Structure formats: C-alpha cells, structure tokens
Amino acid sequence: MPVRDYIRERFFPHIWCPGCGHGIVMGSMIRAIENSGIRKNDIVVVSGIGCSSRICGYLDFHTLHTIHGRALAFATGVKLSRPELTLIVPMGDGDACAIGGNHLIHAARRNIDITTIIMNNSIYGMTGGQYSPSTAYGDLATTAPYGNIDQAFDIVKLVLGAGATFVARTTTYHVTSMIKILEKAIAHKGFSVVEILSQCPTYYGRKNNFASAVDMLKYYKTHTTSIGSKEKEENPGLIETGIFLQEERPEYCDEYAKVIERASKKG
C-alpha cells in the first residue's frame, strides 16, 4: 500500500511546526505497520493531548483521541474488550510521564499487550513551552527561564523498573532503525515502550541554542551510541539507543481470560 492509504488526507496539511520530529515518527510508524502486514481494520490508535497526540487524527485506522494522560487507560479498556486488536498508543513525554505517569507504570506492571510510543521532545510544545518531566537539568523553558532545577526522568529506566517486557530507545535521526524497532515492538506480545527522541525547534530548540531542526538532528547523531558500545565507556554522557529488553512474560489479557474461565467453571 502507498503511504497515503494510511493517512486521512482531508486533515492535511498537518498542524505540526516546520521541522517538528513528530511527522518523522508518524511516517516510520506507518512503514512499520505496513511491513508487519497487519490489516488497517485490526489496528486501534489511541492518543491523549499534546502535539504528539494529533497523530491519531491523521491516521486512517480506528482511532481514539482521548484526554490528557489517560490514553493508556482508554487503550486498556479497548484491549480487554477486543484482545484480538493491535493497540498502539502514541504519547508525548509530558502526557506519558506527568499526568499519565501512573497509567504508564501500571500498564507496564500488568504487561498488557499494547505498544506505547513516547515522543520525547523534552518540552510541553502545544501549551507554550513549559518544562516537562524529561527536560534536562539546566535546560531552559518558558517556566524555567533561568534553568530547570528538576532532574529528568530516564524513561527507559522508568519502564524497565515498572515491568515492561519490550523497551527501546531511538531518535528521529535514526529512521531506518526506528522502523525496525517499531516492527518488533508491535509484534511483541506484552507491554512495549519505544522512546523516540523527537526535535521541537519551536520551543525547546529556540530556547536552548539550537539554530534549526537540522542542528537538533545532528545532535541526535553525535550524542547517541548503541547500547553497550565502547563509545559509551569513553563518553558516559552519550545517550544509548537500541533495544534494552525483550522478554516473554504472561500477558494480562490472556491471564484475565483464564480468570473468567475458572470463574465460569466454578459457577
């Protein structure tokens, strides 16, 4: 299928700012789904609120555009009622880790078969450039004009600790590997989290001395390295990318079905 068959062209041109990385994520997600061979009618995309959450309006699947931070709660309801469907939840770093942080933790703990894509641009882009849970210490934002004093969440460590069974990180610079990682995440039976570092030139970039989106992409190229590389040993400040964990564990919908079966026999 051509890419245009996966989008709702009547809603284009999109509202993302020039240079925003979220369009790259959407394109990679479409290609991963196409490579996976999943029928459009078997996919549900659920999003919350934020720049990243506009993605569900542009995709020609079953979609739910829900409320801030609650996308995983809605997705859990859909998955439990229709476990045969493929659930994909694109979120922003604020949507996923601030107001939605509790839902993220418990979806990971339950290991429900949902793929969560966290587009991490280190800022609240839609509402004016406030600092987010992933804004680094010392970075500038509209609500931190003299530098952020909070320590940023490490999203990978957060979801590993919470119990996700597929955890990966990539960037909008690494498009080819992003597509492959998303394919594996969607195919994984369990709770999958893919953190994607996505540039926001309008707010984060402008306030933190990036002249353009291209400069931000170059930063992702020069400041990342593969998991366990020698470069990381020599330069601990590099951000590791790749698949951190992929393991099998009982999946929540399957376990819930067993409870229903046991209850039915007892009755």
pLDDT at 209: 94
* Bridge partners (DSSP) listed for residue 117: 90, 194
Distance, CA of 88 to CA of 73 (rounded, Å): 13
Domain of 79, CATH number, reads 3.40.50.970
* Strands annotated E in the chain: 43-47, 62-65, 86-92, 114-120, 166-171, 192-197, 224-226, 239-246
Torsion sign across C-alpha atoms 232, 236, 242, 246: positive
Residues counted in the chain: 267
Cis link prior to 2 (omega < 30° from 0)?
A: no
Candidate from 101-105, 142-146, 228-232 with smallest mean pLDDT: 228-232
pLDDT over 90, % of the chain: 91
User: Whole-prediction pTM value?
Assistant: 0.95
Question: pLDDT tens digits for 211-240?
Answer: 999 999 999 999 999 998 999 988 999 999
Task: State the first-to-last Cα distance of the chain, in angstroms, to the nearest integer.
Answer: 49
Assess whether pLDDT exceeds 90 at residue 259.
yes
Task: Quickly list H helices, 10-152.
Answer: 22-36, 55-58, 71-81, 93-94, 101-110
Supply the range of the domain harboring residue 53: 3-266
For residue 267, pLDDT over 70 is answered with no
Q: Is the pLDDT of residue 142 over 90?
A: yes
Residue appearing with tokens 């409870």? 259
Amino acid 51 reads C
> How many independent structural domains does the chain possess?
1
Rounded average pLDDT over 165-189: 98
